[in-house]
Amino acid sequence: MSRVIMIQGTMSSAGKSFLAAGLCRIFKEDGLSVAPFKSQNMALNSYITEEGLEMGRAQVMQAEAAGIRPEAAMNPVLLKPTSHMGSQVIVNGEVLGNYSAAEYFKMKKSLIPEIKRAYDSLAERFDVIVVEGAGSPAEINLRENDIVNMGLAELIDAPVLLAGDIDRGGVFAQLYGTAALLSDRERARIRAFIINKFRGDKEILKPGLSMLYERCPIPVAGVVPYMDVDLDDEDSLADRLWAKDTAMDRNGRKAFARIAVVRLPRISNFTDFNALEHLPGVALYYADRPEELSAADLVILPGTKNTMGDLKWLRETGMEAAILRKYGEGCFVFGVCGGFQMLGMRLSDPFGIEEGGTLRGLGLLPVETVFSREKTRTRVTGNAWVFEEWGGTKASGFTGYEIHMGETKRAGGRPCTGIRKESDPAGAAIKEDGCIQSRAAGTYVHGFFDSQEIQRAVWELLAGKYGISMDKLPEAGGFSMAAHKEEQYKKLAGILRENLDMDRIYGILDRRL
């Protein structure tokens, strides 16, 4: 069986996902086969594996860091919130059903055998398993049925590194308070603290580290600086969702065009748009107020876990009126998955999958959506026709995945893309996807914008509006997301090696410390 080490945090967004990914890359660089594991993940950013199973994107990112293929066993339980009080529960990549928080709390302990089987399947094949916790282990009201923090650590006999977020302040109280609220047996599992997201001179911290050890004799395995590492974020606390700079592109160049992604309350798979952040001369930002759309040249409606609920939010906040106004002024509007469904004429939910009943869409596309009980989970490849319709060029060679409840039928316009399953043989029939009508378009394909050809087509579309030619910005030919991620994993591992006591961490992994 493999060796195991677990990263827990004092709170959500303490940096557990990145620390786990960095350790995965370090162990890989050191010649070990390594796999990530998170027993229960609550996130709306998900991914479809080669087998057609659904899992959280954080473990996909960690698998990429480890240099291995993502598989659902790395995230056996995925919770996708559908409302403030309920979630869709996915077990080993398959939908189990929708449950209220109270219902799930009562039944989650029954999932332990599934979690243990998933973990064991990885432990039999890899040298090291890097496990990520969720939230905080000091949520004492949840201790009895815990399956993701100390309960899981005990189940798989994992030593724990506890990470605190100094950027939010109070890191000593975070670490000490978390340890104090644990039982003696649980506290003994914490073999070291990590202080994460530090800005400034580490010398200033040293007296505090000594005083912390006096009060709580757990060593600090490192002080990790605030890292400028561009990798997939897991949840709605991601910094990129709150940045509002529309004057500059990501690299500090003055922006000539702007892409506004509507920050829906239940936004999902916002990683779809990370590649567009790298278009030269283009500023991408997330908007949740009508006035924030005024500068946009392209408005994107992203995926959502509750299409009907978020469509009502668009209506109630004035965002729908702002989108329609921008469209009338000549702005392009593009929808992905739930965003595509919203752009249609009508949405119907006869089985109560979301909120039940029928709701009018934005009316920009001649499509109607009917929600069904079955979830589509398919990896696809295809060509995009949307940019030809908008006066640009055809873009081919993209890959991505469909993940949605319901079927959308087109009653006019043209298809946005032509796709087929990745598993289909060469020459298999092409399926029409999405819809284009005038300056509005939509697709069901997540990962659509990761394609360099799609990126180039988007850039040419926006540049053409301002009379900018490609020869003036040759780097606009496309951005390799895969190559960029590889650079970021190397950078992440390098920063962690420099700032963590890796001898201590290996000692913990080997049960010497």
Q: Is 337 a catalytic residue?
A: yes
Q: Is 278 a catalytic residue?
A: no
Neighbour order of strands in the sheet with 282-287? 282-287, 257-262, 298-301, 332-336, 440-443, 435-437
Pick the catalytic residue from 24, 278, 331, 337: 337
With tokens 């990263």, the residue in question is 7
Q: What DSSP element (H or E) covers 463? A: helix 452-465
For residue 321, which amino acid is it? A
Q: Which residues pair with 21 in a beta bridge?
A: none
Contacts of 91 (CB under 8 A, 6+ apart): 76, 77, 111, 114
Nearest alpha carbon to residue 240 among 250, 225, 255: 250
Question: Cα dist. 500→223, 230, 285, 504 in Å?
Answer: 7, 20, 34, 9
User: Per the structure block, which two tokens stand in for 156?
Assistant: 């798989």
425 secondary structure, DSSP code: P
User: Per the structure block, which two tokens stand in for 410?
Assistant: 């087109």
User: Per the structure block, which two tokens stand in for 53?
Assistant: 């199973």
Q: Measure the CA–CA gap between 308 and 315, rounded to whole angstroms.
A: 11
Q: CB-side exposure of 152: number of CA atoms within 13 Å? A: 34
Pick the catalytic residue from 24, 331, 404, 446: 446
Q: Measure the CA–CA gap between 376 and 433, rounded to whole angstroms.
A: 13
Beta carbons of 310 and 338 less than 8 angstroms apart: yes
Long-range contacts of 471-476 (CB under 8 A, 24+ apart): 473/280, 473/281, 475/280, 476/279, 476/280, 476/281
Active site residues: 337, 446
